[in-house]
Amino acid sequence: MRKFILLFSYLFHPVFIPTFGTLFYVFLSDNYLIKEQYTLLLIQVFMLTVLMPLTFFYVFKALGKIDSVMVSNVSQRKIPLVMQLCLTEILLYKSVTLDRYFELFFFFLGGMGSMFAAFGLIFAQIKASLHMLAMSSLTFFVMGLMHHYQINGVYTLATLMVLCGIVASSRLEMKAHTFEELALGFVLGMMPQVVLWIFWL
């Protein structure tokens, strides 16, 4: 059972959440884009938010800058967060633009706001859970999508909330965070998404 719970820390690592959010957008939106456009979108998001960060993580690990892809040490989080912020900015500037993918643009913009907040807290030696930050961002983005497109997604949202709980349990089991750090991460992920609802709901 312990190994099963720990698996969720890897399955729902923050680098995968942008791709999950994009998949939800593709399946729920009614933009009527052609299949090739959605495929290109997914490829671009996956390359910039998964492949490139993982490549950089392993380079940083080889250089001794970080211990692992979990980046448990608060002082080691600066470079990965700055890297992720830069890659997300490139994505918003070149691919997920406001005029092309309206709702998805705000998901990534909210994610940048959350990452900026987590980055700022590092200088106060405060460690927020990036796993919970990412999971709550995804959950509240999907909640916004459901409302925007008038979709009854009670079971989907319930599943996402359960997954948030399982991921939190996984992080506690790994002794990666305290309850307070998990709660802080959840709030940091939620707030920008909810605030940005004003602009697209």
- Give pLDDT tens digits for 140-188: 999 999 999 999 889 999 999 999 999 999 998 888 889 999 999 999 9
Quick one: pLDDT at residue 72?
63
132 within some domain: yes
- Whole-number mean pLDDT of the chain? 90
Quick one: pLDDT at residue 104?
96
Quick one: pLDDT at residue 30?
75
152, with CB counted inside 10 A (0-12, 13-18, 19+), is exposed
151 within some domain: yes
Quick one: pLDDT at residue 43?
95
Quick one: pLDDT at residue 6?
78
Dist. CA 8–CA 164, nearest whole Å? 10
- Reported as a pLDDT band with limits 50, 70 and 90, residue 78 is confident
Neighbours of 140 (CB within 10 A): 23
64 within some domain: yes
Q: Is the pLDDT higher at 201 or at 154?
A: 154
- Reported as a pLDDT band with limits 50, 70 and 90, residue 36 is confident
91 within some domain: yes
Residue 98 has pLDDT above 80, yes or no: yes
Residue 75 has pLDDT above 80, yes or no: no
Total domain count for the chain? 1
Dist. CA 75–CA 11, nearest whole Å? 24
Quick one: pLDDT at residue 176?
81
DSSP letters spanning the chain: -HHHHHHHHHHT-GGGHHHHHHHHHHHH------HHHHHHHHHHHHIIIIIHHHHHHHHHHHTTS-SSTT--SGGGGHHHHHHHHHHHHHHHHHTS-TTTSHHHHHHHHHHHHHHHHHHHHHTTT----HHHHHHHHHHHHHHHHHHHTT---HHHHHHHHHHHHHHHHHHHHTT---HHHHHHHHHHHHHHHHHHHHHH-
Average pLDDT over residues 119-132: 93
Domain membership of residue 132 as a residue range: 2-195
200 within some domain: no
pTM of structure: 0.92
Average pLDDT over residues 27-46: 86
Dist. CA 19–CA 12, nearest whole Å? 11
Residue 70 has pLDDT above 70, yes or no: no
Q: Which two tokens stand for residue 24?
A: 């939800």
138 within some domain: yes
144 within some domain: yes
61 within some domain: yes
Quick one: pLDDT at residue 31?
72
Dist. CA 45–CA 21, nearest whole Å? 10
Contact of 109 with 92, CB cutoff 8 Å = yes
